[in-house]
């Protein structure tokens, strides 16, 4: 569902963020930017959106937790997360719900994803990727990687947590179906995953732990 947003000048309005919604914004126009420019633009729009959702024209301080997760203590309970890869940027917002988002650009470079999977993923996850052909394996790897990153970001943990300690059930094509284990502790509560991709461009995942929420997606044309 599109989210109308004519501009993001200070004081701009954003669509009302209901308690049972997640708003996901895609920034468009990053192909004109350098990698450093994409990062700077992503954080500039994060600040503008965050202030708009909090109902203030003033920039809000963003602090980082022990493992680097950003938060805005003065945003009135607005939770957010940001990810960018190449020219692609995603920013997610929710009320009172920790969440994580990850996007990875799909490129044609040859990478030994099997070696990475065998080193960092759970043994059964790496084994599920092995029978796939090369193209299918790379795509399945990115799908699993983005899901792991999204869950770790929702938890407020970094990669140091251990990608192998966060385990997913996979189907025969290596597609993540559900979170199966988080560390040594039994799962508490339901993890929700939203996955999507633009063929040949991106693979992305959104994760949160809690009740289902409606996902609304909007696009913003960046101003460079």
Can you give the residue ranges of every domain in the chain?
21-221
Q: What is the 3-state secondary structure (H, E, C) of 143-203?
A: HHHHHHHHHHHHHCCCHHHCHHHEEEEECCCCCEEEEEEECCECCCCCEEEEEEEECCCEE
**First vs last C-alpha separation in the chain:** 25
pTM value is: 0.90
Class of domain 21-221: alpha beta
User: What is the Cβ-side half-sphere exposure of residue 35, based on CA atoms within 13 angstroms?
Assistant: 3
Per-residue tens of pLDDT for the chain, all 224 residues: 455 554 555 556 788 899 999 999 999 877 777 888 889 999 999 999 999 999 998 999 999 887 778 999 999 999 999 999 988 999 999 999 999 999 999 875 556 899 999 999 999 999 999 999 988 899 999 999 999 999 999 998 876 777 888 889 898 888 898 898 888 766 656 899 999 998 889 999 999 999 999 999 988 888 65
What pLDDT is attached to residue 45? 93
Under a CB-based contact definition with an 8 Å cutoff, are residues 38 and 30 in contact? yes
The residue with tokens 């796939």 is 132
């Amino acid at each position: 569902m599109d989210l109308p947003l004519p501009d993001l000048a200070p004081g701009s309005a954003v669509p009302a963020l209901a308690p049972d919604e997640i708003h996901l914004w895609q920034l468009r126009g990053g192909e004109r930017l350098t990698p450093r420019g994409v990062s700077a633009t992503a954080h500039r729009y994060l600040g503008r959106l965050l202030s708009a959702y909090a109902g203030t024209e003033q920039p809000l301080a963003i602090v980082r937790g022990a493992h680097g997760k950003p938060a805005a203590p003065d945003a009135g309970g607005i939770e957010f997360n940001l990810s960018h890869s190449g020219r692609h940027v995603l920013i997610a917002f929710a009320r009172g719900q920790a969440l994580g988002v990850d996007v990875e650009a799909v490129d044609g470079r040859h990478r030994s994803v099997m070696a990475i999977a065998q080193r960092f993923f759970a043994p059964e996850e790496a084994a599920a990727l092995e029978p796939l052909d090369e193209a299918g394996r790379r795509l399945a790897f990115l799908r699993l990687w983005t899901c792991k990153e999204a869950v770790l970001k929702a938890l407020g943990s970094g990669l140091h947590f251990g990608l192998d300690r966060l385990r997913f059930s996979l189907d025969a094509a290596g597609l993540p179906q559900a979170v199966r284990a988080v560390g040594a502790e039994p799962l508490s509560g339901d993890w929700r995953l939203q996955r999507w991709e633009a063929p040949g461009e991106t693979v992305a995942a959104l994760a949160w732990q809690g009740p289902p929420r409606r996902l609304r997606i909007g696009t913003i044309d960046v101003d460079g």
